[in-house]
Amino acid sequence: MKATLEHFTQRLQALSAAEDFFAYFGVPFAPAVLHTSRLHILKRFHHYLRTQPAPPEGDDATLHAHGRALLARAYDDFVHSTPREEKVFAIFTVLDGCRISLAAVRGALPSQTPED
């Protein structure tokens, strides 16, 4: 099992673009959803891989099916929600409900002096 899991992990590490993951696992996707939420989906997929243990007696096909189900679940999270609502990245948690006025932003900018 350990060799099989290591092999599976190596195959995942060889993938780079979100489309590569979807093609590898054969998960259908809407280009608009993937374009808007690709990093969020992959981050959620990685979270699911860390928190959902692999089947104890998994061969290549079992591990592939497990990964496919987790990627489909991560994708589905963003089909029915938004990145802001899902709060995958810390910035969405830290700034939730925080409002900054345009006047405050302008006040933080260095003053502009006209050139002569």
User: Encoding tokens for residue 9?
Assistant: 């992990």
Picking from 1, 99, 88, 4, the residue whose alpha carbon sits closest to that of residue 41 is: 88
Q: Which helix or strand (DSSP H or E) is residue 103 part of?
A: helix 102-108
Checking if the pLDDT of 20 tops 70, the result is yes
Q: Which helix or strand (DSSP H or E) is residue 1 part of?
A: none
Picking from 54, 61, 22, 63, the residue whose alpha carbon sits closest to that of residue 41 is: 22
Distance CA 89, CA 69 (A): 22
Q: How confident is the model at residue 91 (pLDDT cuts 50, 70, 90)?
A: very low
Predicted TM-score (pTM) of this structure: 0.69
